[in-house]
Amino acid sequence: MINNPIFQIIMDTIPNPAIITDGRQLVRANKCFLDFFNYKDLNLFVKNNSCVCNLFIDNSEYFSLNKINKTTLWTDYIYKEKNKQIVLIKDQNSQERVFELSINKLENDTSKYIVLFTDITIMRTENKVLEKMAYYDHLTQIYNRQIFNKLYIKELENFKRYKDELSIIMLDIDHFKNVNDQYGHDVGDQVLVSLSKLISNNLRLNDIFARWGGEEFMILLPRTNVNAAYNKAQELRALIETQKNNLPFFTASFGVTKVIKEDDNNSVFIRVDKALYEAKVKRNDVVLISE
């Protein structure tokens, strides 16, 4: 059937890129597929590309050959998984496009598959934008309070399961209202951004940093004892106090505590808030409350 010229005509009516393959070589491709890669016919494509699967860009978010055993055909893998796979491919202009793959065996030749490529680039981009809006503070571009709470619950579960130490730091910019009143809210925003960048650049990759609200911030430090957390808070306090930029001088106060086995989803925040409150009595200070 696939050798029938009418079959090619039918394939060319499909508005999305579509191919017939045995997992190693292309047998047929529709016009939309060839146009995407800027080839006049299938022979030219095959001459330059042994398999379309080699064009799947290796990326942790998407399917590629590196995700499967070298002895497994990509078509067999996707078909057996019964889940649509997402791939990243560059078009003729070297622009990255995201496709969702749909695959089925041919009824009259089960050794071959028909693969349909659905372009979901716009949808994927919009989803990433929405995800960023949901997870990140729009001004400072660090985590917001909502996602911090979710990540804390996850780390709390890990703490109770694996008995690793877990510490938390809460900080607040001293006299921030005076900055806004004296210099304006635009400068106040710049102070928040500057502090966020400074702290982000001085944390580990697995540390979780978020804007808690207003001029308050939280730092969660997995696998960190409370003394190390206290030292980190002192380090950050000194960095903030001595940083040089064109912004008004400001300092910050820090509260530090450790997570204990009796903690629930709120108790540690009450304790670290108390530590911060005591630090703000003196200002530009760090106070530790163990439990």
Which residue reads 């108790």 in tokens? 267
Q: Is pLDDT of 3 > 80?
A: no
d(C-alpha 197, C-alpha 146), whole Å: 20
Predicted pLDDT at 111: 87
The answer on pLDDT for 259 being more than 80 is: yes
Domains in the chain, number: 2
**Tens-digit pLDDT profile for residues 195-232:** 999 999 999 999 999 999 999 999 999 999 999 999 99
User: Does 264 or 34 have the greater pLDDT score?
Assistant: 34
Copy the structure tokens of residue 229. Answer: 């957390």
Which spans in the chain are helix H?
A: 5-12, 31-37, 42-48, 74-81, 121-135, 145-162, 176-183, 185-200, 226-242, 267-282
Residue 171, exposed/middle/buried by CB under 10 A (0-12, 13-18, 19+)?
buried
* pLDDT for res 167: 97
The DSSP string of 217-262 is: EEEEEET--HHHHHHHHHHHHHHHHH--SSSPP--EEEEEEE--TT
Give the least confident one: 7-21, 126-140, 180-194, 273-287: 126-140
User: Does some domain include residue 218?
Assistant: yes
Query: Could you tell me the CATH number of the domain that includes residue 38?
Result: 3.30.450.20
pLDDT at 99 over 90: yes
User: Which residue range is the domain that position 279 belongs to?
Assistant: 136-288
Q: Give the domain CATH number at 275.
A: 3.30.70.270
Q: Is residue 131 part of a domain?
A: no
Domain boundary pick from 75, 105, 125: 125
> Are residue 80 and residue 113 in the same domain, yes or no?
yes
- Which phi and psi angles does 49 have, rounded to 5°? -140, 115
Cβ proximity of 62 and 56 under 8 Å: yes
Separation CA 108–CA 12 (nearest Å): 20
Q: State the chain's mean pLDDT as an integer.
A: 92
Quote the CA–CA distance of 202 and 219 in Å, as a whole number: 12
Same domain, yes or no, for 96 and 177?
no
pLDDT digits (tens, 9 = 90+) for 150-200: 999 999 999 988 889 999 999 999 999 999 999 999 999 999 999 999 999
Which residue, among 142, 176, 168, has the nearest Cα to 280 in the 3D structure?
176
Identify whether residues 181 and 113 lie together within a single domain: no
Rounded-to-integer distance, Cα 16 and Cα 32, Å: 6
The reply to whether 196 falls in a domain is: yes
Residues 116 and 14 in one domain: yes
81 shares its domain with 205 = no
Last residue of a domain, one of 106, 125, 144: 125
Let me know whether 73 and 164 are in one domain. Answer: no
Q: Active-site residue 262, yes or no?
A: no
Q: Which of 125-139, 182-196, 208-222, 272-286 has the lowest mean pLDDT?
A: 125-139
pLDDT at 1 (0 to 100): 64
Domain contains 43: yes
The answer on 199 and 82 residing in a single domain is no
The stretch 130-149 carries a mean pLDDT of 90
Within-domain flag for 223: yes
User: Does some domain include residue 195?
Assistant: yes
188 and 249 housed in the same domain: yes
As a whole number, mean pLDDT of residues 232-258 equals 96
Which residues contact residue 67 at a Cβ distance below 8 angstroms, ignoring those fewer than 6 apart? none
Could you report the per-residue pLDDT of 61-76, keeping only the tens digit for each? 899 999 899 889 999 9
Question: What would the two tokens of residue 205 be?
Answer: 């990759």
Bridge partner residues of 40 (DSSP): none
Q: Is residue 130 part of a domain?
A: no
pTM: 0.63
pLDDT of residue 128: 77
Active-site position among 215, 216, 235, 262: 215
Pair 76, 146 in one domain: no
Whether residues 121 and 141 share a domain: the answer is: no
Q: Are residues 54 and 140 in the same domain?
A: no
- State which of 92, 125, 158 marks the end of a domain: 125
DSSP H or E run through 213? strand 208-213
pLDDT of residue 107: 80
**Buried residues in 134-145 as b, exposed as e (16+ CB within 10 A):** ebbbeebebbbe
The pair of structure tokens assigned to 171 is 């900080």
Instruction: State whether 91 and 217 are in the same domain.
Output: no
